[in-house]
Amino acid sequence: MIHRLPGMDRIARPDQVLLPVGLLALCPLVAGAPTLLTATWIALCFLASLILVSVTLAGLGRSVAAEFRVLMTLLVSGIWVTLLDLALQAAAYPLSLALDIYLPLLAANSLVLTAGEQSLRGSGCADSLRRAIRQGVHAACWIIPIGLLREMLGTGHILSDSGLMPGLPGPVHVLPVEIPALASPSWALLILALVAAAAGSMVARSAPGT
């Protein structure tokens, strides 16, 4: 039996998302967010990408021929993510550098592309907007806590990178020890896998007939 990723259903197809699909899409998002600040911004950019791509393609609707749907989805996704990246560079260039390649990678994220293709198949703008917001919030519930945990364990602080954005308070010391290796992307993926496995196990146990 393959368990669904809690909170991530109805992202690719209604009630048809299996655990590996959600994990693969979340991997680059959590890998590129080693702190609370970067995780929050990755989650916000992911939410914005979902909304912009879904609503734009919903507006185009069935005017795009079936054979051009994938190309149009990639084109619209690439344009919006590029504009988001440029806007972040203009507003907070050090933060943009900290996010590195992970922000541009949103253009090829499977959840963004699948949500966009769903909208292109005839979903209305209102439905597409609601679905995009729901998906973005669900993803943030995974990205931000994992980023916070990585920062606390890896640096012993919260807001250890507050210098990336003017106006933020200085680092807050929360733990007496730090393990820098735990802030690495590989540990982020391990934490994601363990949390997802534990959550999936709890959902399976609470399901009727188990």
Residue 90 has pLDDT above 50, yes or no: yes
The pLDDT of residue 208 is: 67
32-44 average pLDDT score:
93
Res 67: pLDDT = 83
Q: What is the pLDDT of residues 57-89, one digit of tens each?
A: 999 887 888 888 889 999 999 999 999 999 999
Q: Which long-range contacts (CB under 8 A, 24 or more apart) does 111-115 make?
A: 111/11, 111/12, 111/25, 111/50, 111/135, 111/139, 112/46, 112/49, 112/50, 112/53, 112/77, 112/81, 113/73, 113/74, 113/77, 114/11, 114/12, 114/13, 115/11, 115/50, 115/53, 115/54
Q: Provide the domain limits for residue 189.
A: 19-206
13 assigned to some structural domain = no
pLDDT tens digits for range 102-159: 999 999 998 899 888 888 887 788 999 999 999 999 999 989 998 998 899 888 899 9
Which pLDDT score, from 0 to 100, does residue 210 have? 55
5 within domain boundaries: no
* 127: in domain: yes
pLDDT, residue 207, reads: 65
Residue 10 lies in a domain: no
What pLDDT digit, counting tens, does each position of 160-201 carry? 988 888 888 888 999 888 888 777 888 778 877 887 777 777
Residue 167 lies in a domain: yes
In a domain, 58, yes or no: yes
Within-domain flag for 14: no
Instruction: Answer whether residue 62 is part of any domain.
Output: yes
Number of domains in the chain: 1
